[in-house]
Amino acid sequence: MSTLVLSEIYIYPIKSLGGISLTSAEVEERGLRYDRRWMLIDESGVFLTQRKLAEMALLQVALTPEGLLVTHKTKDLAPLVVPYETHSTRSTLVTVWEDICFAYLVSNEANAWFSQALGIPCRLVYMPDNSIRLIDPNYAKHNEKVSFADGYPFLVIGQESLNDLNGRLEQPVPMNRFRPTFVFTGGTPYAEEKWKTFKIGDVLFYGAKPCGRCNVTTIDQSTAQAGQEPLKTLATYRTQGNKVIFGMNLIGLSTGTVSVGDSITVMEAAS
Q: What is the pLDDT of residue 172?
A: 98
- Domain count for the chain: 2
Q: What is the pLDDT of residue 1?
A: 58
Does any domain span residue 48?
Answer: yes
Distance of alpha carbon 48 from alpha carbon 60, whole angstroms: 16
Q: Is 145 in the same domain as 250?
A: yes
Does any domain span residue 33?
Answer: no
Q: Is 106 in the same domain as 140?
A: no
> Which of 126, 157, 186 is the last residue in one of the domains?
126
Does any domain span residue 30?
Answer: no
Q: Is 201 in the same domain as 162?
A: yes
Q: What average pLDDT does the chain have? A: 96
Q: Is 153 in the same domain as 212?
A: yes
Lowest mean pLDDT, pick from 10-24, 29-43, 46-60, 85-99: 85-99
| pTM (whole model) above 0.95 | yes
Q: Is 194 in the same domain as 85?
A: no
Q: Is 257 in the same domain as 144?
A: yes
5, 30 Cβ separation under 8 angstroms: no
The DSSP letter of residue 19 is -
* Torsion angle (degrees, nearest 10) of CA 259, 57, 127, 80: 100
Q: What is the pLDDT of residue 202?
A: 97
pLDDT-based confidence at residue 86 (cuts at 50, 70, 90) = low
Instruction: State whether residue 73 is helix, strand or coil.
Output: coil
Dump pLDDT digits (tens) for 155-164: 999 999 999 9
Domain of residue 185: give its range.
5-12+135-269
